[in-house]
Structure 1
């Protein structure tokens, strides 16, 4: 296996390895605003330390990832202490695993060569230009924006890619045998026929039956579950190219000079206006061509183009307008049509029959608009905006440096900085760690606002680069700690919570009873009718089908095969609280002789990778067992 690992040095880099590698431009986007806290050690793996900065940075990244995954539901989910506890523990476990794997890779002497490293960096799409090629300018800009030098970034990538070699070497060492592919084929391709019944818990929900005493008792169990989120209101200065540009006045002479110097940039491509009559080919091309020839003859004899188009064209849009297509340039029409239009030399000229995939066209050129530069008045606003932005960018660079210098010197206020730079000191709405309006929508802003330096020590933040043209510096103006809500504010929330819990219990009792009756051979038709419930019959369903919901399909495929035609019956509570009953009637196994050779080879490869992933997980646990791991932070 070690040879396979070492071969990874000469293989293309694996992009994902069990969540170990995080792309630098995601993780380090938070770095400038999460490194202001303590640099104390929170865990140690052998001789390698994990600092509080690293842990907090990874935790913030995980929070942002979870927020993107769960969307609007995140704030509600995050209120659950178990969710936060598990997330913190996962972050710590991942950091420890990363260190363990790096140590093991070093011990094995794995190495990622400099040439391969540079090739890997050049392959990262974030560094590519519009043509898909590596851009040194983009590379340098992204590194600067994320507080990296080429040396430190390459060192980080070297460590990550070396760790990936270990992962890839173990995973690729996994093998599978032919009988496994046959067995997997039977699992994947078998079909099952079953009846399913879903009983919604909402049918049993009765909020009005929840008493005030029950609500009080539930609240008293743990009032800390009903807390307001910790919030801050921010005072901040915003510096942006767009805002600076608005105040810049451009002299008319500068506008005229720019126009004359760059007139070629404003030249518009030649445009043509035409009209046509389309006779669609449909299934009879000969008939379409004959009809088009007859119309062309009528035009040559002097009949009106517009009237013939209205009466005969199969283009439903232009036909109503006498065939008029309006103005268009090259690339707007199919090639034969475009060639015919741009091949004419003067308005009024008419084509013969032009064949396209739509049918036969008769085209007449109406007007030509040459490729000339528009007058200055037409592009003046555009020129002004360009010159304003150019000057604003230069001013932005200068003021950004001053903003960083003055806000650092002022320390715990931004008033003098605002005055010296001519900026308006703005105030945000209330912002929590996970959400906010206005400037609080920016994850980088929230990360900075709740950092130790800004929140606890009350210092101004470092400049926060929201994009290339926008920077903010902030401080906490007001702080609202998390507080337990009074019962009156959460009474209805608790009422609904208890009603939902009781409904889940009630629907399970109802469902369990149905299953008992069905297994006893009793009729449940009356119970189903009383509750407006109906069976759904699914025929020859495959394991991958999820039309009824994945949980129901998994249950159907988890039941044993019916014996002598006797259905297998079972029920279960679903994750959303609803209850499902499954009656399995038939299982059909495919013939392994029908498996395609190429498909079997793919299946063997996939199974080998699965075995390899399992081996890697066991391998890492073994390495952990022999490592000295000391965690000093309570991740809970």
Structure 2
């Protein structure tokens, strides 16, 4: 081909064409030999990429939380559905949109806000106050460091900056509040009469009618598919530990893990914050520094709390005279931390600059770091050793169970004999589950899987709860099948008669309703059917002394004109009918809603409006900030 091109192209045309080719290769093609980039993000928000790993981490986190919350009712397959994956991704996209909005608006989570939020968590409190020991113990139990938890808390608070600002700026007027009250606490005057069921209906039901009804409603008389399984169970809670650990073993572990029981140095501090606005001018910074220096000159141990209450811009601590409680390294921001842990007891610092502004710090007391003695943590070590031994025994037994049932997939007998486990029977259950282990969705899913149901193999090891697992094998199976007509003949006949009675009751009610709408007296109409009229005045939407069906129908009727009534026939749950007259509609009774209830309702409405505004704001952000989703990577 190249020779043919050479023969046909020569002279200056050849030079031009080859020059273009060389240019194209040089600038657009050759780089592909040296650079290779594969996109792996599941979504891109502006310039920020949400990676597959970050998305999967979020899915795993939510799956763990739901598993702990729902226990046996947890169905992990929910998280494999496209709808759930899209919901999780949408939430991550919204979070990123809010973070980018924070940056554009200059919003930032202060160290004070982080500190106050952590201190307000009940798990970190003792007698209603922040407890540093409880804080450290809780984080250690979760395998998290103070710095990492601080970052998580800061990120969580950052997500709320814009929504909280929108909610705070939302106004609920008195008119809006009253309109809501008038709807929610609306009062309706009504009269109703429950009609007796028709005394007689044609009780003759032919075989042809029974057969026709049976065929038309075959699904109602079909026994669903069901199975029964045999299973082997390992429950860690029921396993006995061979022997309690000796003091020697506990002391050895204490020596190896002594760092866990180290109480770090703590410092009792108070501060006065003179805030500096974000993007402050040089003059503003100078003014804030001058004010902080002047306060620092005046401050001493006797008047520090008074100065904090008067001048501090930290609303969370100024009411307590600037008291921050006991602090460890890493809890406050770096500049504050460095200054605090360089001070001597009783010392008051010069102004310390941080992202929030200038801090004047008073170090009131110091607790030196020390290791808790063995006697103090012995019970904890004993519990950990016992739990650990039980978990190890469970892991060993569950592992052997998985291996044995995999090597002998056609039966549970070899594993039962080898491990000394009894074979248990689940009893019958369908695809919607049953009782016992059949109440667990994972067990149901495995029982009806192709491997167990069709191929007759043992299931894999199914963890139905922490340290609790089963392996199951199909024992009995029945396909869905209609019950024979002869078996359900009486039931079919009764259903036909019930339908006739309902139809007769409906016809009777409609005939009586027509008389009422023509202007006939309600008492006369009700008496002709042997019914008694009941009056209900100022009925609310949730009033238990009025039948729910009548109450619901009454609140769906349009407002009646003065001096007239709105009429309706109402089907009751037992197959009877009632005649209903709506006479009057009134708004809320102001005397029954006190100021406190109004304020609570106003706050609830304000939050609801704020959430709606936030959703609208996120929609606007999606239109302004490009969002790209790669669904096939989910």
* TM-score normalized by the length of structure 2: 0.50
Return the index of the structure with the highest Cα Rg: 2
